[in-house]
Chain A
Amino acid sequence: MNEQNILEIKDLSVIYKTDLETVKAVNGINIAIKKKSTFGLVGETGAGKTTTARSIIRLLPKVGHVTGGSIEFEGQNLLDLPEDEMRTYRGNKIAMVFQDPMTSLNPVMSVGDQIAETIKIHNPHLSKEDVEKRVEDTLAMVGILPSRKIDYPHQFSGGMKQRVIIAIALACEPDLLIADEPTTALDVTIQAQVLMMIKDLRDRLGTSMLMITHDLGIVAKICDDVGVMYAGEIVESGTVQDIFEGKNHHPYTEGLFGSIPDLKATAKRPQAIPGLMPDPTNLPEGCVFVERCKYAMDICRKEHPQLSVSGTHKLCCHLFDENGNRKEANHG
């Protein structure tokens, strides 16, 4: 494992297996998150982003199984840990912020108690006063009056609830914060506030972060590296510069950028990517994006594309050779 990385996911595959069907949610992905940097995982709903995040913290639903690969955190493969050791990581070294602040807090516990719980689990010898002190500090850190610790979740607005959830996640100053669409459920002005706060705290605490989102604007603002996920695969990855400024892109990434409304363009509608994601119980043999790709070729249907690498920029498409150069002859 590379010393500079805090987390390395190698060849991870996850399935959801029920009596009726097997859903291939994540298919052999590779992600490396550098220390004190933020990795943005982008993709549409159902691409496997949340599954990836839940595999890291090992909180997949009962039907979810990791079928291959490794998740190394600071040199330790998390998938090998027994459950009780895994618990010492959760909330302590790796914390997670969930998508929906409205339902992610326990409605019958005061927010102070909910923050204190994390602190107590990972610092069992702390005195009651010290725990309370840390709860108050943590609340102040996310911009909530410490005196509100006795209040219950229903007394907070959506944005404030998400702040409380972030406070829970950061209470033990984790090394890695997984944020699963932390602002999706909030309205736009609050989104910006919460996002800036996350960015601020990340910089102040030196936390590495995995930011899951379908919003490219968020990626541009706070991520260092990006992975574009589609049907359980990372089809393109690289630094923010590679993705936002480079000229070679996976057709899906192109489509994602095309679907953002452009303020400067003259009255053109944003271009949606036609079609739907392939059925994850029955993935195509070749490229997973072939059905929606405007450049689709014969080979795309038959053969899964190889990885093209140029520097930090990686993509997975038959349009490009293994060095990331466009294969001119083949299409048209």
Chain B
Amino acid sequence: MYRYIVKRILFLIPTILGVAFIIYFVLNLTPGNPGRSILGANASQEAVDQLNEELGYNDPLLVKYVNYMKKLVLEGDFGTSYFTKQPVMNEVLPRFWVTLQLSIIGIIISTLVGVPLGMLTAVKQYSAWDYIPSILAFLLAAIPSFVLGMVLLLVFSLKLNLLPSYGLDTWDAYIMPSLCMAIPITAFNVRFTKSSMLESIRADYIDTARAKGATERTVIWKHALKNALLPVITNIGLNMGGLIMGAVVSERLFSVPGIGALIVDRINYKDEPVIIAGTIVISITFTIIMLIVDIIYAYVDPRIKAKYTRIKG
């Protein structure tokens, strides 16, 4: 198991190298340059060229990439923002922290609401306890989150004037952005948990358990649930990754200074160091989350645990 964890963490190195290269490559394909964006449309071409040269923007793609990675590996330096001239981590980390908070709140809501509801719909299949949550989940999963966010804003800020419409200055400001992130995932969780639970309720080992004389409660909670949760755990891990990366919609709508909004803003300025550092932080988080999911998985499922312990090096 420990070897497996170490192996997975070492796998971060090629991941980071790859992510950085892809970002450089894609940015290289898009038009625009930081000099023009920073100085504005009225600046002279010479000034723009000079600034680009100073920033090192004009170097060939591979040179930029190798220089960046060298600095990152040797000095742990993620670079300096073209736009603010600040070390990028000073900008990225606080913004990332905001997104991480929102995502964690979102994942807690979507798990605590979605998973039990999904189980309920499966256990009470073909009753009102099934139909109402299922139809609701179906509808909510179909609404894009920017529409949902605007509806929330309209109702709770504009009409009812209950919640602040921007920023994260007070605790109640967290409610709408995290809800906006959580609701579609909650709906998806309901549907996913339901199908997983239905599958395990119909499994043969459930019959075996009933034939032992076990009560229906034992059958559901002890035998069906644990098996049904295995795919749900993976799904929650993926959700968490999706939330961090997809937070930009919610961040933009509610003017929250998160990392998604930061990266999207800086794409306009072609602020390569910020974009790359932000993406690297997100990829590291994603890898760590998936690793945690795998460890939980191994803890729940003896078959997976056996597989990991068999892997050598």
* Residues of chain A whose beta carbon lies under 8 Å from any beta carbon of chain B: 57, 59, 84, 87-92, 95-96, 98, 100, 103-110, 114, 117-118, 121-122, 152, 154-155, 165, 168-169
Interface assignment of B205: CB less than 8 Å from any CB of chain A: yes
Q: What residue of chain A has the Cβ atom nearest to residue B206's Cβ?
A: A106
Complex CA–CA separation, A84 to B217 (angstroms): 12
Given the contacts A103-B205, A105-B205, A90 and B212 also touching, CB distance less than 8 Å:
yes
21 contacts between A and B (CB under 8 A): A57-B211, A59-B207, A91-B211, A91-B212, A103-B203, A103-B204, A104-B204, A104-B205, A106-B209, A106-B223, A106-B227, A107-B302, A108-B227, A114-B208, A117-B214, A118-B212, A121-B214, A152-B303, A154-B302, A154-B303, A168-B212
Q: How far is the CB of B305 from chain A (nearest CB, A)?
A: 9
Q: How far is the CB of B301 from chain A (nearest CB, A)?
A: 6
**16 further contact pairs, Cβ within 8 A, besides A104-B208, A107-B205, A118-B212:** A59-B210, A90-B213, A91-B212, A91-B214, A96-B211, A98-B204, A104-B207, A106-B205, A106-B209, A107-B227, A108-B301, A117-B209, A117-B212, A118-B213, A122-B213, A154-B303
**Chain A residues with CB below 8 A from B233, complex form:** none
Shortest Cβ-Cβ A-B pairs, 9 listed: A91-B213, A90-B213, A91-B212, A103-B204, A152-B302, A106-B205, A118-B212, A96-B211, A104-B204
Q: What residue of chain B has the Cβ atom nearest to residue A90's Cβ?
A: B213
Q: What residue of chain A has the Cβ atom nearest to residue B215's Cβ?
A: A87
Among A87, A105, A154, which residue has its beta carbon within 8 angstroms of that of B213?
Answer: A87
Among A92, A95, A154, which residue has its beta carbon within 8 angstroms of that of B306?
Answer: A154
**Chain A residues with CB below 8 A from B70, complex form:** none
Complex CA–CA separation, A168 to B208 (angstroms): 9
Interface assignment of B226: CB less than 8 Å from any CB of chain A: yes
The answer on a CB contact under 8 Å between A107 and B301 is yes
Task: Count contacts between A and B, CB distance < 8 Å.
Answer: 74
Interface assignment of B300: CB less than 8 Å from any CB of chain A: yes
**Chain B residues with CB below 8 A from A105, complex form:** 205, 208
The answer on a CB contact under 8 Å between B213 and A106 is no
Q: What residue of chain A has the Cβ atom nearest to residue B216's Cβ?
A: A83
Interface size class of B (residues with CB under 8 A): 20 to 34
**Chain B residues with CB below 8 A from A154, complex form:** 302-303, 306
- Consensus secondary structure, chain B interface: helix
Q: What residue of chain B has the Cβ atom nearest to residue A155's Cβ?
A: B306
Complex CA–CA separation, A91 to B214 (angstroms): 9
Q: What residue of chain B has the Cβ atom nearest to residue A110's Cβ?
A: B302
Among A89, A92, A121, A165, which residue has its beta carbon within 8 angstroms of that of B208?
Answer: A165
The answer on a CB contact under 8 Å between B213 and A92 is yes
Q: How far is the CB of A260 from chain B (nearest CB, A)?
A: 29
Complex CA–CA separation, A84 to B215 (angstroms): 8
**Chain A residues with CB below 8 A from B203, complex form:** 103
Binary CB contact string for chain B from 218 to 237 against chain A (1 if under 8 A, 0 otherwise): 00000100110010000000
The answer on a CB contact under 8 Å between B207 and A98 is yes
Q: How far is the CB of A107 from chain B (nearest CB, A)?
A: 6
Binary CB contact string for chain B from 267 to 303 against chain A (1 if under 8 A, 0 otherwise): 0000000000000000000000000000000001111
The answer on a CB contact under 8 Å between A100 and B227 is no
Binary CB contact string for chain B from 247 to 273 against chain A (1 if under 8 A, 0 otherwise): 000000000000000000000000000
Given the contacts A98-B207, A103-B204, A88 and B301 also touching, CB distance less than 8 Å:
no
Q: What residue of chain B has the Cβ atom nearest to residue A165's Cβ?
A: B208
**Chain B residues with CB below 8 A from A59, complex form:** 207, 210-211
Complex CA–CA separation, A154 to B301 (angstroms): 11
**Chain A residues with CB below 8 A from B230, complex form:** 108
**Chain B residues with CB below 8 A from A100, complex form:** 204
Complex CA–CA separation, A87 to B209 (angstroms): 11
**Chain A residues with CB below 8 A from B306, complex form:** 152, 154-155
The answer on a CB contact under 8 Å between A107 and B207 is no
The answer on a CB contact under 8 Å between B302 and A106 is no
Complex CA–CA separation, A106 to B204 (angstroms): 8
**Chain B residues with CB below 8 A from A87, complex form:** 213-215
Q: How far is the CB of A25 from chain B (nearest CB, A)?
A: 17
Q: How far is the CB of A224 from chain B (nearest CB, A)?
A: 24
Complex CA–CA separation, A84 to B213 (angstroms): 9
Complex CA–CA separation, A295 to B182 (angstroms): 70
**Chain B residues with CB below 8 A from A89, complex form:** 213
Q: What residue of chain A has the Cβ atom nearest to residue B126's Cβ?
A: A62
Quick one: which of B164-217 are within 8 Å of A by CB?
203-205, 207-215
